[in-house]
Structures are given as C-alpha cells and as structure tokens.
Structure 1
Amino acid sequence: MRLSRDFIRAVSSPATVAWRSAQSRFFCSSPSDYRKSQPSMLKHLTSKIKATGPVSVAEYMREVLTNPVTGYYVRNNMLGPDGDFITSPEISQMFGELLGVWIISEWMAAGRPKQLQLVELGPGNGSLAADVLRVFGQLQSVLGGASVSLHLMEVSPALSDFQAQTLTGGGSQKADCEEDPVYRHGTTAAGLPVSWYRCLEDVPAGFSIFVAHEFFDSLPVHKFQ
C-alpha cells in the first residue's frame, strides 16, 4: 500500500487533514501539543514524498514514531501519569518482580550458565528492568557467581535519559563516538553493568533472556494487498 496519493490529497485540504488527524490518533496527548507537533512532521513527510516518491506503510510508521527530530518516541516522555499512556510496570512493581522470578527459574532450567544477559527491547522509562533487577538482588544467593548484565535496545535519546536516571541514578556515560555500538553505559547501585544499543545485532553473544513488553505493537509493519 502506498501513501503518497492520499497524503498529498490531505495536504491540499486543511479540513481533511484536521478530520483525518483527529480520527487516526492512537494516543491521548492534549490537542494543543498534538497540533504543535503536527506541522513539522507534515512538512517533513510532504517534502520526503515529493523528493523520493511514495512511501510504504512501514516507512511512514518509522518516520512518525522514531524520526530523530520529530518522531513521537524521540521528542518527549510519553509514559506515566503525566504522559500519554501507562503500562503495567508503572501500575505495580509486582509485574516486574514476578518476571524476575520467572527469568531466574528459566536460567536454572538452562543449567545455571555462568553468564546471564537480560536484554530488554524498548525499555520505556526503565521501571520494568529496575523491578527485575531488584529481584535479582534479593535472590543473589540463588544466582551465585553468575555474571549478570543488562542490555537495553533504545532508539530514543529522551527515553534513554529516563532509563539512565531510573537504573543508574544518572551516573551513566555517553559514548564519545556516535558510531560506537554501545552509545551509553553505566552501572546500577548494585554494581551491575548496563549498556544501551540502537541495534539488536550489537548485543554481545551469550546466554540471554529477552524481554519485549509492549514492544512489537509499536514496530513499523508492512501492509500487503
């Protein structure tokens, strides 16, 4: 499915744009905030389509969600009571704590590997990882001498700031080179290493358990007819 024809038609009719925007919103941000962000993204997509031609549904979603300048997940913190939506880790720590117990159980069932990498995709503000690591600390006697580390895949600079504050108390450091696969790193209060990545392929090899809570529903998808 191509978006250029419908999109350009919407651009030529302001009333149509307003109606479609109101009908297609999936979040609960205030109308004023939404209108402020709309022109820049609208201008960007219009210019892109005029310059390079039609875009796929997946490319459209990718631009709207993670564009480095105007993307929804890049420009602000949309989580929590003051944001656009709340996920289960913000409602109760029990979700993350139970998940932590399950992870340790799976690690034990795998033969207690010497290495345990917790990899979270789209870690939000870091609440879920913090709850899981709290259980790891409480069950340290079970983990024994296992080398535990946390690896976060996050493309939003704004959200990585919140995650760093939650998990390391703001003690993380950003990489000097933008090309570095680990663009940020730090340690928790318990001394566990935390690393941030933009690409899943950059996460080191090793025994890993992946957490992707409310992640796949935010990924760009292709639409086929």
Structure 2
Amino acid sequence: MDFQTWRHVFKLDPNKQLDESALAALVRSGTDAFLIGGTDGVDAENTFALYARLQGCGIPVALEMSHPEHAIRGFDHYFIPTVLNAGTVDWVVGHQMRAFERYGHLFDSNNVTGQGYIVLNPEAKVAAVTGARATLTLEEVVAYAETGHHLFRLPSLYLEYSGTLGSPDVVKEVKLALPDAHVFYGGGIDGIDTARMMAEYADTIVVGNIIYDNLEGALATVQVVR
C-alpha cells in the first residue's frame, strides 16, 4: 500500500457515532484513504466494528495501531506511532515492542509503517496520555522531525495538533528541512480554507473531528487536493 500517494485522509474514531448515510458520503467523497484511530474509549471491539463497516468500500483503510490490544488483521495498512516528544519511553518504543511481541508474526511487514508523531497541542488528550512535551519552539519541532527521519529512519512524520489548528509555518519548515520525508498534518482542519492552508506544505492532510460536527464542511476539504 503506497501511502505516499495520499493527499487527503479522513480519520475516523471508533468511539464516535457515525450513521450509515454519513459513512456512505465519506466513501463517495474522493478521499484517498481512511485512518482508524482515537484516544478515548477505543478498543478491539469498536475498532473491528468500524473496520467491518468499511470493508470492501474500495478505498484503503489503515489502522493507527497505538496500543497492542488494537491489533486486528485485515486492514490495508498499519501505522505504528512512536511519539518522538513523549514523556515516557512506553510511547516511544514500549507499546510498539509489545505489539510486535504479540502480533508481529501475523502481519506482512510491507504493510506496516513506523510513524513519528510530534504532539504539538498541550491541551490535547493525546498529550496528557503520552506525557508529551508539547510546547516547543520551531527549532525544537524541526529537530524532533530530523531525529525521527535521519536517526530512526522513519519514512513518515505526523504533526499532531489534535483538535486545534496549528501553524502552517511549522509544517513548512519541517518539510523544507526534510523534503524526502512524508509529512502528515492533523488538527483543526474545519473547511476549505484551513485544508488549503495545510495542504500547501503537508504531503497528506488528515481531517477528523469536523466529520462529527459538520459533515458538509468535512466533505468539502477533499476539493482542496483535487
């Protein structure tokens, strides 16, 4: 699965309600892929339930496998996050090791990608869960990104603002510093204008929360990359 061709991704939370008509509209939207993942209340049962609804939809469905218990076979691709600015080693390599220990033999390594997350919203739940040092200077963000790409050889980086709109200058500087890295951006995209702002520099924009608040606004974001 060549995720490097993706320009637009809808991120769906297994712990949030989405009716069949809304899901069908997302499938028809022209998005490049669906990413399944969340922070609160996500477990194997609701993850599988959402996967089953999307199975056979004709669009790649990827799993953000942030916890070993979320490992479910059948997804088109698996992203294993490592939070580069986490406050505990568990979120850098601990949970990831457990996932491979328990389930590594079940998956095709060609469909598994390490993804270096940099959490940049100190108020976000993911920042609290991972103990992330999320208040960073621009230079520190770039340095974390360079560490992930050059030292850990991570092919994918994710600038995670989770619920708030980040700085396009941060995305721009990370991409300028690492033109060969595939940069995902997620957080605060609530319509065409914010989608265009971030798509100018990010390789892939991730649209999530607005799906549940303003479906039409979410669908409109696809136009920006088409």
TM-score, structure 1 as length reference: 0.29
With a CA cutoff of 8 Å and minimum separation of 6, indicate the structure with the bigger relative contact order: 1
Greater gyration radius:
1
More strand by share: 2
